[in-house]
Structure 1
Amino acid sequence: MTVIFSKIDSYYRQIKSKIIFYPTLLALCGLLFAFIMMYLEERGISHYLIENVPVLVLNNGDTALTILSVCITGLISMMVFSFSMVMLLLNQASTNYSPRLLPGLISDQKHQIILGIYLSSILYCIFILFSIQPTGDQYQIPGFSVLLGILFTVACFYSFIYFIHNISQSIQITHILDRIFLSAESTMQKLLKNEEKEELHFPETENWHEYLTEKSGYFQDFSTEAVLNFCKENETLIEVIPVKGMFVLEGIPLIRSKKELTEDEVSTLLNYFHFSREELVSNNYVLAFKQITEVIAKAMSPGINDPGTALNAIDYLTELFRLRMLKNDESFITKDDKVYIKVTTVTFEDLLYNVLASIRTYCKQDIIVVRKLGTMFFYLQSQKAAKEDYYECLKREAGRLLDDAENMLDNRKDLEILDRLAQKLELHRD
């Protein structure tokens, strides 16, 4: 049963990020509501309203048919235009910023819900249209259902206005960066909360039993509670070898177990691990660093040449590094005050190098961006860190940045700024 729930959870994680998820749910709701109203019409709801509140009911079949036909036509046109706007947003984000941003934009729930409102209203109006008899008397016309169709159409108009407002914000780089940061911050805060306990110890795993992956894809996550229960029931400890977000190839080591496991136990355990063909920040905070880094690199590329966007992105990157400095390089998962799982994570040194290596390539010739990065290093050096080694990593990367910039810049004033940055960061340079 646990395996089934794990598979359902994995499938839900994958489909939730698809643009069709919420529209499909809302469309089914609209279809169901149409059948409910058709049932109520057969029970005489419109007849009751004609007798008591006639103003709420249409009593002419031709008028009802015309109104619903107009509503359906208008809603379809509005939905097509809205889909076109979404495609325009995705194309612009991919061209100007980074293709890696697309999964996050596609999974925007607001856009999905608005498109779902359109689709559910269209299906509702279509099925109510089928139930109208133009030649019938006023008691045979689903007048109240038609009125609801009109109200749903009006709601779609207001949803369309909100959609235009939201899409105009979503296409702005500050909004995109803010979404990435908030998602990554939420993920990192959860990890930091798990590290609030006293320092934990885990035995060496070099000689443990290794088990290989049975599929390839991006390693998204694993069902923590299920793996913890597995470890407790089988009296073993587990080390998760790949880093979350890493593309795992079939047949490479995935886990190490202190106790040797049977084939059935291995098969059960592997079912708790989730793989996907796309990456989401909500599953892996390291992806946020990658996305913001790519935005900076794209903004500073000769084809775009937008240093303002790079400066804004560096601000968000600085805050993410501040949060990462509070986290240890090793992560453990406990249950009942006992450590059962060790999770491999990207070290602070590797993360800092990977980010700065890309940024240096495109930004070392721009003194304004270099000075902004120097300010980032100075700020991070004054922040609290989980390990003292983090400060040395910052100094090494700052030194590499200033060395690359010095080799690219010839202006005397720019070189003076680099010297002042080096003094401020307490770097010893030749």
Structure 2
Amino acid sequence: MIQLFKRILAFFNLIQSKIAFYPTTFAITGVLLAFSLFYLEERGISRYLVDHAPILVVNNGQTALTILSALITGLISMMVFSFSMVMLLLSQASNNYSPRLLPGLISDKVHQIILGIFLATILYLIFILFSIQPTGDKYQIPGFSVLLGILGTVICIYSFIYFIHNISQSIQINNIMDKIHKLAKSRLNTIIENDSKSSNEFPSTESWFEYCTEKSGYFQNVSVSNLMDICADRNTQIHILPIKGSFVLKGNPLFKSKEELDHEMIKTILANFKLHKAELVADNHLLAFKQITEVIVKAMSPGINDPGTAINGIDYLTELFCLRMLKKDTNVYGRDEKVFIKINSVSFSELIYQVMASIRTYCKQDIILTQKLVVMFKYLKMQKMENPAYLKSIDLEAKTLLNDARSSITNERDLQLVEKMAVDFGLKII
């Protein structure tokens, strides 16, 4: 029962990231509110307002129809403009920064909620419009419902103003990278906290029973707590083979088990894996490194040529690398001093190489960015780290960067500066 609840919660977290989730929820709320008002109108709520506060009630059917029609037309126009702004935001982010940023922008709850408010108010007004009798007397006009519709429209207007402000902030690359950085930082802190409670000891899995995935998709996350419960019940251990963020093809090996599992148990275990077509930083911190790296590369491409954005991206990468150095290269999870699960992960050496291999291509000829990257390496060497071998990876990447810079820069003064950086870093470049 607990596992079923956790899977439902995981599914709910997934659909929350879809752009249609909040608009659909608010739309249903608007329809339900309209039918609730039908019930209250039958109980005489508008009659009470006509008798005690007539100034708040529209008591003419034709006037009510005109007001509601105007409100619906105006709100539809504002909603269309709002959707157009969202599409413009996504298009600009994809073209100027990176297509990988789109899932994070689409999952912005503020935009979804505002669009939901528009949709809920429009549907509410449409249903109330149907209930009005133009030739009825003042007691037959749903005056209270019309009043709520007007108040809802006022809320929509202020929401639209906030929407314009928020979307103008969302399109700024500094705010985009800051959001990515915060999500990745939160995810890394959680992993580091779990690492401190786990052991690196895990037996060899060469002779274990291997099981394959039944569908393709990006391996986003896995319910570790559920799998540990299964391992404890079946007295087994599980080794998860793919790295988080990698694309797993249908039929490829997904995990190994120390004990042989029956068909039903395999299906239960597979249900705890999240394989989807999109990637989210909240599920996989490695995606943050990819996204920020792609922003830096795009900023330094000849078509964009924005070194300021590249420098900001390096600053964010520096802090994320500092956190990553506090994490072990292996992910092992256990309970009550017993290890149950091992998940393959990208080592620090491979991660910093993948990041720098992309950045060097566009930044090695820029002396300012080369300096910035060397400062990053110096800062990383001074930080606390989980594994002393991380130092060798930092030195190797610094040496490779300076070698590339020396072969790409032709200005004598810049070359002297590169040589000085190498000496200060304690490196002998080719």
The bucket for the TM-score relative to the shorter chain is over 0.9
Per the alignment, residue 393 of structure 2 pairs with 393
What is the CA-CA distance between 1:292 and the residue it aligns to?
0.5
Query: What is the rounded CA distance, in whole Å, between the counterparts of 2:420 and 2:36 in structure 1?
Result: 74
Where 1:340 maps in the other structure, the secondary structure is: strand
Per the alignment, residue 347 of structure 1 pairs with 347
Contact 2:402 2:429 in 1 (8 A): no
Indicate how the Cα distance of structure 1 residues 281 and 333 shifts in structure 2: closer, same or farther if over 3 A, else same: same
Alignment of 1:311-326 (within 5 A): 311-326=311-326
Query: What is the rounded CA distance, in whole Å, between the counterparts of 1:269 and 1:83 in structure 2?
Result: 40
> For residues 155-198 of structure 1, what are the alpha-carbon distances to aligned partners after superposition, in whole Å with 9 as ceiling and x for unaligned?
00000000000010111100110111011111111111112236
Alignment-mate amino acid for residue 354 of structure 2: N
Query: What is the rounded CA distance, in whole Å, between the counterparts of 1:130 and 1:413 in structure 2?
Result: 78
Contact 1:378 1:424 in 2 (8 A): no
Query: What is the rounded CA distance, in whole Å, between the counterparts of 2:74 and 2:9 in structure 1?
Result: 38
Per the alignment, residue 427 of structure 1 pairs with 427
Where 1:244 maps in the other structure, the secondary structure is: coil
Query: What is the rounded CA distance, in whole Å, between the counterparts of 1:183 and 1:198 in structure 2?
Result: 23
Query: What is the rounded CA distance, in whole Å, between the counterparts of 2:9 and 2:249 in structure 1?
Result: 22
Contact 1:363 1:369 in 2 (8 A): yes
Alignment of 1:4-403 (within 5 A): 4-5=4-5, 8-197=8-197, 199-403=199-403
Query: What is the rounded CA distance, in whole Å, between the counterparts of 1:115 and 1:197 in structure 2?
Result: 43
Contact 2:50 2:57 in 1 (8 A): yes
What is the CA-CA distance between 1:311 and the residue it aligns to?
0.7
Alignment-mate amino acid for residue 338 of structure 2: K
What is the CA-CA distance between 1:299 and the residue it aligns to?
0.7
Query: What is the rounded CA distance, in whole Å, between the counterparts of 1:4 and 1:69 in structure 2?
Result: 47
Q: Which moved more, 1:354-363 or 1:256-265?
A: 256-265
Contact 1:365 1:409 in 2 (8 A): yes
- Contiguous gaps of at least 5 residues in structure 1: none
Contact 2:198 2:332 in 1 (8 A): no
Query: What is the rounded CA distance, in whole Å, between the counterparts of 1:173 and 1:369 in structure 2?
Result: 18
Query: What is the rounded CA distance, in whole Å, between the counterparts of 1:247 and 1:52 in structure 2?
Result: 66
Contact 1:6 1:271 in 2 (8 A): no
Where 1:140 maps in the other structure, the secondary structure is: coil
Query: What is the rounded CA distance, in whole Å, between the counterparts of 2:177 and 2:271 in structure 1?
Result: 34
What is the CA-CA distance between 1:202 and the residue it aligns to?
1.7
Alignment-mate amino acid for residue 413 of structure 2: K
How many equivalent pairs are there?
430
Query: What is the rounded CA distance, in whole Å, between the counterparts of 2:3 and 2:252 in structure 1?
Result: 22
Output the TM-score relative to the length of structure 2: 0.97
Output the TM-score relative to the length of structure 1: 0.97
- Contiguous gaps of at least 5 residues in structure 2: none
Indicate how the Cα distance of structure 1 residues 332 and 198 shifts in structure 2: closer, same or farther if over 3 A, else same: closer
Query: What is the rounded CA distance, in whole Å, between the counterparts of 2:78 and 2:182 in structure 1?
Result: 31
What is the CA-CA distance between 1:335 and the residue it aligns to?
2.4
Alignment-mate amino acid for residue 254 of structure 1: L
Query: What is the rounded CA distance, in whole Å, between the counterparts of 2:310 and 2:200 in structure 1?
Result: 39
Where 1:341 maps in the other structure, the secondary structure is: strand
